[in-house]
Chains A and B, each alone.
Chain A
Amino acid sequence: MSKILEGLKYSESHEWVKAEGDIAVVGVSDFAQEEMGDITYVDLPEVDDEVTAGEEFGALESVKASSDLISPVSGTVVEVNADLEDAPEKVNEDAFGNWIIKVKMSDPSELDALLDAAAYKALIGE
């Protein structure tokens, strides 16, 4: 059974978002990392890249497959977790403790369209 953190927002494509003012910290859920298996590569965007809610901003690769990362919010990338370039397995070890990008949101109201922990729990059937 995968872990779900209260107080975070979730997308249907299994990203989590933690809002800190107008900055959105984005990662993938524990359910997502479990489904993928051993993650071997994280394809990160660059700082200053524009991202759009619902659109791909990078990818996670497991041994077997590649899975797009979908941005839950729109805005500008202000930081990427470069640690993951050398240690992508950290996402498996702690999906909530290892964020992927931080986005300066252009429209924080987009957060309202995301799922809360209870709704996400229902989505993944746990």
Chain B
Amino acid sequence: MSEEITQALQQTCLYQEHLALGAKMSPFAGFMMPIQYSSITQEHLAVRQKVGMFDVSHMGEIFVEGPQAEEFVNWIFTNEIRGFQGGKVLYGMMCYPEGGVVDDLLVYREFEPEHFLLVVNAANIDKDFAWIREKVKGFNCTVRNESPDWGQIAVQGPEAEKTVMEVLGYKEAANLGFYEYCNVEYKGKRLILSRTGYTGEDGFELYTTPENTVEIWKRLLAAGVEPCGLGCRDTLRFEAGLPLYGDELSADISPVMAGLGMFCKYDKDFIGKEALLDQKAGNVAKKLVGIEIEDKAIPRAGYPVELEDGTEVGVVTTGYHSISLDKSICFALVNKDCSALDTPLWVRIRKKTFPGKVVKKRFYQTNYKK
């Protein structure tokens, strides 16, 4: 048995709710998580057309505070946090000196000076916290991993704002722009109401205590909000062109390779800057692209990408028959000279190859709040 299987799986605070709903459960990132409740297609469409909710309590919450917190976070984070105000959220990465990615994450600038919240991927909490603790040496600030103390629900879809306002009574929701948050209370405990998400739709992420999370989940469910599993979380983020750590970003796939250079700011110093600048200047072998193929066959992670003559030039990282677009599309990591838009490429699916071409990675027109 592999080590992965023998390690005890964790449960989120909503585990019993998932069982009660009859969810298909599966291990993900060390947690036993719901993959689907009804069907991936139905849940996917609920988020695109109305509103759905996800248990994302497995995500990690790391707090950085102290006189040099801003300086420290800006040193480990690729994006520029100086000059952005309390109540704002920024997406970016933590990189290794070689340019590979430790994790992609959200940085919340709190309203108190020199207070930050870093929200990281569940699979990477231990690795990230070890990395942060190592790098913080010499900086005058503290770091705390509070992941087990926080539950999190993502409410996503065109009716998300209405839902948060009417079902939960948070009128503040209307005033938040995309990637902004505010602090409210639920039962006297802090609730971070954040206009963020991972679906390509407008939506909110609600961070609060595990007890509050269970109560809020039940209230949303009673109000008719569709419970959505990790299955459609992946189809939704994929259509919206959003990367998943482990598939499109990793220690071997840098932000420059993944086409996420806009989240790296080079007029400051940060870990990995030199390597990324070098890659940006052209010293990079692979690029992440979108490919659309002319068939209903589905390109899956690991399938080879070829030229017409059968030369292998890359590999699929994520692929689906897109639910919103009714097309077979994938992300693939391919040789740089094959990465220009409209380049003809073939994907090998079992015994056959299917012709396709390079397209923009944002397959679906996102609907974020302006």
Q: Which of A's residues lie within 8 Å of B, judged by CB?
A: 37-38, 40-41, 43, 59, 61-66, 85
Contact = CB atoms under 8 A, between A and B. Distances in A.
B320 interface: yes
A41 B323 contact: no
Interface of B: 24, 35-36, 39-41, 44, 231, 235, 296-298, 300, 320-321, 323, 349-350
A40 B323 CA distance: 9
B41 A63 contact: yes
Given A63-B323, A64-B231, A66-B300, A38 B41 contact: yes
Given A43-B297, A63-B235, A37 B321 contact: no
A107 to B, nearest CB: 25
A91 to B, nearest CB: 14
A115 B366 CA distance: 50
Contacts, number: 38
Nearest to A56: B350
A41 B41 contact: no
A59 B321 CA distance: 15
Contacts of A38: 39-41
Most buried by A among B35, B321, B323: B321
Given A64-B40, A85-B296, 16 more contacts: A37-B39, A37-B40, A37-B231, A38-B39, A40-B298, A40-B321, A41-B298, A41-B321, A43-B349, A61-B297, A61-B298, A63-B41, A63-B44, A63-B320, A63-B323, A64-B231
9 contacts: A37-B24, A38-B41, A40-B296, A40-B321, A41-B297, A41-B298, A63-B44, A66-B300, A85-B296
Nearest to A59: B350
Contacts of B235: 63
A125 to B, nearest CB: 16
Nearest to B300: A66
B39 A66 contact: no
Contacts of A40: 296, 298, 321
B39 to A, nearest CB: 5
A115 B308 CA distance: 44
Contacts of B296: 40-41, 85
Contacts of A85: 296
B222 to A, nearest CB: 26
A80 to B, nearest CB: 15
B137 to A, nearest CB: 43
A62 to B, nearest CB: 8
Nearest 9 CB-CB pairs, A to B?
A63-B40, A38-B41, A40-B321, A61-B298, A41-B296, A38-B39, A64-B231, A41-B298, A66-B300
Contacts of B231: 37, 63-64
A62 B40 CA distance: 10
B321 A64 contact: no
B253 to A, nearest CB: 22
Nearest to A35: B24
Contacts of B300: 65-66
Nearest to B232: A63
A40 B319 CA distance: 13
A37 B36 CA distance: 9
Nearest to A68: B350
Contact of A64 (B35, B297, B349, B350): B35
A65 B297 CA distance: 12
A61 to B, nearest CB: 5
A65 B234 CA distance: 12
Contacts of A61: 297-298, 321
A3 B299 CA distance: 31
A85 B296 CA distance: 9
